[in-house]
């Protein structure tokens, strides 16, 4: 019998984040750790928001409350409650905060959950009462009792993950009656006499736990190269990397002709296998007339993030006979780092001349070249 045939069916999630992340080796809660441009918690929130889940309760500690509210205030359907000193207590606080028909319980420390896994657990909970994301064990597990080692048959073993999704009435009943220590919601459910049902999770849906989990969040690297040149002319501002430079000549172009930012955008787009700036921002389009290239750079970064990449670093060279750029290189790096959403030590810019050779050497143009590394976010699914 289907449990939730009414429409709309109230499907809510509890994302528990009230731990300390002590095993992570970080000096702060692991759910606040950045993977690329987003925190671990934001990655789960964004994925849940692509599903049928109507409301999310984030459970946090008193200590992390300001940081968590800073994140959740960006979302319309997310509320925040404080948890307890065990995962069990935190989950229970989250469950009580928002009654619903179907509830998903998820570890805030699992940022690689996919919408397909979430939907599978919901389907199963609607149909059978519960849906627990799990995967067949890949290691052989030993039981050690008083020094005696025995092997458990691997084909019968599964590793449970989250989300673990239940009929709200049943899991709250189980939580209200549970006695003992539990780290797994399905175990609480079982302890009350219910039979949990497993659904396919993924081997990529790991719980970030130990330092090793934080050093290898990327599965693929993409390199990109970009190049641009603009003519120097009177009556225009000279802008490089978003910084206006005091110089009698400026670069000619449809936008602000920021040649350095153009080279960086093309490097990013090339690495992400996206069309170049000539295609994305055509110089025949009036809306790009005089536009700041920093605005375009932010748009490019959004496209890159949408394709699932985070930026490792950018390295660029400005080729100009004049003016001398050394005194303002650090301003240029800060400006670019701010627009790219990365740290200044991830953006390097150097400058060179062409020894008076060619159009650049004659002071008639400035050129720039840039390369970057993008890393694909997420583990193999
Ligand atoms: N959790 C929680 N409240 C607690 C303990 C844990 O909400 N009192 C949450 C964590 O924030 C995490 C999830 O439960 O998202 C899984 O727990 P775990 O991986 O053990 O996280 P931490 O307890 O934070 O890490 P550690 O055990 O290394 O301190
Ligand atoms: Mg813990």
Q: What residues contact 3, with CB distance under 8 A and at least 6 apart?
A: 101, 102, 125, 126, 127, 129, 167
Residue 214, SS3 per DSSP: helix
Interatomic CA distance for residues 265 and 88, integer angstroms: 47
Which residues in 89-100 are b (16+ Cβ under 10 Å) and which e? ebbbbbbebbeb
Residue 341 is predicted with a pLDDT of 87
Tell me the average pLDDT of the chain.
94
**Does 328 contact ligand 1 (Cβ within 6 A)?**
no
pLDDT tens string 114-172: 999 999 999 999 999 999 999 999 999 999 999 999 999 999 999 999 999 999 999 99
Residue 77 has pLDDT above 70, yes or no: yes
**Does 17 contact ligand 1 (Cβ within 6 A)?**
yes
What separation in Å is there between the alpha carbon of 15 and the centre of ligand 2?
14
What separation in Å is there between the alpha carbon of 39 and the centre of ligand 2?
19
Interatomic CA distance for residues 110 and 117, integer angstroms: 12
What separation in Å is there between the alpha carbon of 110 and the centre of ligand 1?
11
Q: Which atom of ligand 1 is nearest to the CA of 24?
A: 28
Residue 345 is predicted with a pLDDT of 92
Which has the closest alpha carbon to 57: 83, 88, 30, 19?
83
Q: How far is CA 369 from the centre of its chain?
A: 28
**Does 224 contact ligand 1 (Cβ within 6 A)?**
no
What separation in Å is there between the alpha carbon of 97 and the centre of ligand 2?
22
Residue 48 is predicted with a pLDDT of 98
Residue 6 has pLDDT above 80, yes or no: no
What separation in Å is there between the alpha carbon of 84 and the centre of ligand 2?
12
Residue 213 is predicted with a pLDDT of 86
Residue 381 has pLDDT above 60, yes or no: no
Which has the closest alpha carbon to 108: 73, 72, 58?
58
What separation in Å is there between the alpha carbon of 32 and the centre of ligand 1?
12
Residue 212 is predicted with a pLDDT of 84
CB 311 within 8 A of CB 337: no
CB 187 within 8 A of CB 91: no
Residue 349 has pLDDT above 50, yes or no: yes
**Does 87 contact ligand 1 (Cβ within 6 A)?**
yes
**Does 63 contact ligand 1 (Cβ within 6 A)?**
no
pLDDT tens string 222-276: 999 999 999 999 999 999 999 999 999 999 999 999 999 999 999 999 999 999 9
DSSP string, 236-278: S-EEETTEEE--SEEE-SSS---HHHHHHHHHHHHHTT---HH
How large a percentage of the chain has pLDDT more than 90?
88
**Does 59 contact ligand 1 (Cβ within 6 A)?**
yes
Among all ligands shown, which has an atom nearest to the Cα of 33?
Answer: 1
Interatomic CA distance for residues 284 and 13, integer angstroms: 47
Residue 61 is predicted with a pLDDT of 98
């Amino acid at each position: 019998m289907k449990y939730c045939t009414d429409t709309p069916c109230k499907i809510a999630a509890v994302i528990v984040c009230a731990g300390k992340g002590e095993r992570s080796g970080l000096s702060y809660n692991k759910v606040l750790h950045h993977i690329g441009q987003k925190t671990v918690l934001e990655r789960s929130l964004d994925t849940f928001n692509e599903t049928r889940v109507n409301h999310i309760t984030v459970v946090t500690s008193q200590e992390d409350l300001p940081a968590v509210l800073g994140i959740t205030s960006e979302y319309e359907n997310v509320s925040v409650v404080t948890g307890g000193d065990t995962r069990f207590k935190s989950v229970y606080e989250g469950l009580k905060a928002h009654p619903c028909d179907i509830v998903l319980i998820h570890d805030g420390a699992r940022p690689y959950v996919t919408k397909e896994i979430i939907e599978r657990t919901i389907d199963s909970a609607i149909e059978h009462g519960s849906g627990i994301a799990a995967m067949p064990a890949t290691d052989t597990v030993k039981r050690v009792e008083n020094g005696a080692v025995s092997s458990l048959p691997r084909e019968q073993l599964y590793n449970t993950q989250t989300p673990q999704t239940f009929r709200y009435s049943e899991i709250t009943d189980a939580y209200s009656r549970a006695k003992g220590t539990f780290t797994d919601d399905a175990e609480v459910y079982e302890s009350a006499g219910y039979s949990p049902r497993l659904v396919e999770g993924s081997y990529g849906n790991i719980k970030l736990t130990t330092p090793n989990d934080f050093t290898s969040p990327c599965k693929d690297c993409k390199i990109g190269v970009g190049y641009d040149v603009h003519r120097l002319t009177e009556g225009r501002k000279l802008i490089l990397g978003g910084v206006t430079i005091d110089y009698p000549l400026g670069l000619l172009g449809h936008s602000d002709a920021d040649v350095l930012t153009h080279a960086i955008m093309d490097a990013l787009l090339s690495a992400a296998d996206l069309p170049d700036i000539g295609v994305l921002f055509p110089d025949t389009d009036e809306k790009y007339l005089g536009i700041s290239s920093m605005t375009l750079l932010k748009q490019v970064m959004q496209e890159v993030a949408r394709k699932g990449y985070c930026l490792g670093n950018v390295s660029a060279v400005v080729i100009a006979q004049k003016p001398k750029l050394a005194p303002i290189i650090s301003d240029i790096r800060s400006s670019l780092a701010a627009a790219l959403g990365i740290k200044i030590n991830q953006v390097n810019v150097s400058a060179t001349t062409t020894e008076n050779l060619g159009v650049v050497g004659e002071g008639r143009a400035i050129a720039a070249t840039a390369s970057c590394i993008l890393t694909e976010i997420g583990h193999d699914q």
